[in-house]
């Protein structure tokens, strides 16, 4: 009997007859335009957990319906497990997520409206699940305009950890990201309670006045 549990995704069915296994991934962070033009695909940045020490191929597995854009990302990994190098006893291996851009499908509507942005995430409460059995979380929404969408903001949501530098400047960084481009200065420097490893929602924009010397800031809308 094959060890592969074939998730019911058409794009993954080929793995059932190959030397690849399907390994679902968790979205740690999602970033997308706050507004998009109707019937026009748009780019979404994903940070996803990835298999350690395996040769793998990433598939975003994105779909859209009348209410939401849903990601069900997975990796195709070699069935023959490699021998991983020993993990250092003192210096742990960093939990580095895959940081990738993918294209969301064009959304059809006859009036300006919002669609939810969904994906599998680590959760602590009962939630819907993907066909692969993973909990699905709503990361936020995207507004579809019939014309002239506002491109000044990008929505962002996911699990973050809090960084406070020696000058007392507070930033949030998505869990698994070690890129300076994914570290965001908080717009409200006084509102930092409970942000470490919290699931946050908000948007990124250019502030009129610099915060901690930067104008690109993160406006926090919710945390849990």
Residue found by looking up tokens 């990302």 in the block: 73
Q: pLDDT confidence of 84, banded at 50, 70, 90? A: low
Do the beta carbons of residue 203 and residue 34 sit within 8 Å? yes
Instruction: Return the pLDDT at 11.
Output: 46
> Can you state the percent helix, strand and coil of the chain, rounding each to 5?
5, 50, 45
d(CA 28, CA 120): 9
Instruction: Return the pLDDT at 7.
Output: 44
**How far is C-alpha 94 from the geometric centre of its chain's CA atoms?**
18
pLDDT in tens, 103-153: 999 999 999 999 999 999 975 544 555 555 568 999 999 999 999 999 999
Exposure class string for 112-148: b at 16+ Cβ within 10 A, else e: ebebebbbbbbeeeeeeebebebbbbbbbbbbbbeee
Q: Is the C-alpha dihedral spanning 40, 46, 51, 57 positive or negative?
A: positive
Instruction: Return the pLDDT at 129.
Output: 52
């Amino acid at each position: 009997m094959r060890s592969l549990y074939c998730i019911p995704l058409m794009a993954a069915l080929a793995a059932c007859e190959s030397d690849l296994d399907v390994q679902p991934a968790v979205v740690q962070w999602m970033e997308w335009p706050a507004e998009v033009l109707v019937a026009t695909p748009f780019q979404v940045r994903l940070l996803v957990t990835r298999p350690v020490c395996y040769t793998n191929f990433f598939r975003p597995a994105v779909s859209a319906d009348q209410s939401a854009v849903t990601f069900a990302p997975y990796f195709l990994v070699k069935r023959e497990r490699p021998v991983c190098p020993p993990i250092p006893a003192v210096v742990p291996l960093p939990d580095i997520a895959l940081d990738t851009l993918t294209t969301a499908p064009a959304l059809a509507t006859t009036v300006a409206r919002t669609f939810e942005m969904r994906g599998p995430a680590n959760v602590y409460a009962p939630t819907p699940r993907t066909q692969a059995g993973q909990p699905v979380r709503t990361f936020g929404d995207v507004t579809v305009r019939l014309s002239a969408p506002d491109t000044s903001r990008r929505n962002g949501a996911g699990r973050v950890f809090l960084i406070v530098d020696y000058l007392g400047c507070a930033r949030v960084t998505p869990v698994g990201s070690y890129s300076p481009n994914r570290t965001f200065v908080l717009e409200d420097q006084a509102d930092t309670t409970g942000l470490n490893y919290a699931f946050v929602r908000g948007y990124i924009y250019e502030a009129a006045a610099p915060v901690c010397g930067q104008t690109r800031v993160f406006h926090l809308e919710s945390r849990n």
